[in-house]
Structure 1
């Protein structure tokens, strides 16, 4: 296995991507994959539901009825299996798609989820000033290099509006184990938006999809199945 090669080469900090919800992946096969990952003591795991992209081979096969389509019910069931299995094995479910053994959270991606500033270097790389300005470099390698040599702009930027900043705060925070901080919401966005947040969240709390714990709004396992929709309901 590649995992064995990585470990034998001396790497102690690495990550594995796991795709679930594939039409051909049974629950038993998924559990076997998880058992291999846990048995190898992989320190970090990113888990994603299969997405059928347009004009791919799988998309073509589904349209021609040569393959089963993706089932949302199956994806939900398998995500619950993943969460249960990895948590029981000692992994921290610190972001909706990411699990880590203690001390092995992704430092790079955590900057995104915390809204911290970061710099991107090279074609297509993105940068953020930690407040309201986002930049992304040109995605054409030749043009990117040419503009640098000619001292011309090699990036495009945008300034986020107040509502865009709020929506991003909600969308990113709700995916994390810490959830949406009520204290941070009021400090950075004011009382009105925070009161609306608390009001709109009541339906999800009463429905068992969210908890208000330690002054933070945190998704339950069931709520994680509807994370995008719940986040959208809390947007400005």
Structure 2
């Protein structure tokens, strides 16, 4: 099974980010101790203690000290059995990846996810990233020299610009770094972010959908021509380098989420930890799990499978949709399935539903139209 740990600390707030985090590190030691206690409390959640992947997300997990990382792994290994070939990923910011820090990470982590976002200095300043364009390139080379060859970088497209030249140069730079995996997302303006507040006040205007779609098309075309497979809408990998941990989410595998705001899934329910560091620490120290549990209805299971599965190269199995729905999915959604095939957004081959290349631009809409009512 799969383990996720949320490290909710950042040096500064990126203007687009609406994940749970704090820019004050004062609670970091207490929170790491609470993570260790929650691991112990939740060790039987998955029904097995065999781990295939471990993922440190955030926030900025590269802010953990070597001692903090060692203490978390000591707890993990005490309560779980980690497969010898387990994928162990840590999200990192470029400015944290010094040669000394990379040497400290190497015994614990075999995959780095580096939040580069852009190689263009003005775009980094616009997003309020803590690193420079030079650090964005240097950190990848330093990681490779330190022995990290299973690397992924994050890039953001759809950033306001006069044309697509900056995005084109970002892709060219990414290819020169020769990383085996790239995740790329359109800049999304969330209400409770700096960009969202600026937009509400009329101080900022994002790009239109057409501009972002053109850059998405450039992304697919450029990476495809250079040996990357788009195995999920936003994720591109060279053969054998798909993210095993993230793929487990898209394939509806059970996972345990540890930390404030972390989610867990055991096949029939989801639970959501409180998104507040102080409340999380207090509850864990009292021996309580500060989470909300949601039992999933058949419709919930179908809808989640559609939302995640259709985004991948594996698509959705009609037989699985029928099983989850109690045999009603095809009968109830037959007209919509036919309409989406007529539009050229969806194909059905035997038991498999897949988005077409055109359908990838409307993935969430395709899934939403097929949702079943609870």
Distance in 1 separating the partners of 2:214 and 2:289? 48
1:155 equivalent to 2:291? Answer yes
Question: Which runs of structure 1 show a deviation greater than 6 angstroms over 4 or more consecutive aligned residues?
Answer: none
1:32-59 Cα deviation digits (max 9, x unpaired): 2112212221111111111123364444
Alignment of 1:32-71 (within 5 A): 32-54=169-191, 56-59=193-196, 62=199, 67-71=204-208
Q: Normalising by structure 2, what TM-score?
A: 0.59
Give the deviation of 1:199 after TM superposition.
Answer: 3.4
8 Å contact from structure 2 (residues 298, 324) kept in 1: no
Q: How does 1:43-192 map to 2 (within 5 A)?
A: 43-54=180-191, 56-59=193-196, 62=199, 67-130=204-267, 132-192=268-328
| 1:19 aligned onto 2:183 | no
Gaps in structure 2 of 5+ consecutive residues: 1-136
Q: Is the 8 A contact 2:223 2:236 kept in 1?
A: yes
CA contact (8 A) 1:3 1:40 kept: yes
- Which piece of structure 1 moves more, 205-214 or 171-180? 205-214
Q: Classify 1:54/1:192 alpha carbon distance in 2 versus 1 (closer, same or farther; 3 Å).
A: closer
* Offset of residue 77 of structure 1: 1.1
In the TM superposition, what is the alpha-carbon distance from 1:26 to its structure 2 partner?
3.0
Distance in structure 2 (CA, Å) of the matches to 1:150 and 1:25: 54
Q: What CA RMSD, in Å, does the superposition of the two structures yield over aligned residues?
A: 2.0
The answer on 1:203 being equivalent to 2:339 is yes
Structure 1 residues 148 and 69 mapped into 2: Cα distance closer, same or farther (>3 Å)? closer
Bigger relative contact order, structure 1 or 2, given CA contacts below 8 A and separation 6+?
2
Q: How many residues align?
A: 235
CA distance in 1, matches of 2:287, 2:256: 19
Shift of residue 67 of structure 1? Answer: 4.9
- Which range moved further: 156-165 or 67-76? 67-76
Secondary structure at 1:175 match in 2: coil
Match of 1:216? 352
1:126–1:136: 8 Å Cα contact kept in structure 2?
yes
Q: Structure 1-normalised TM-score? A: 0.90
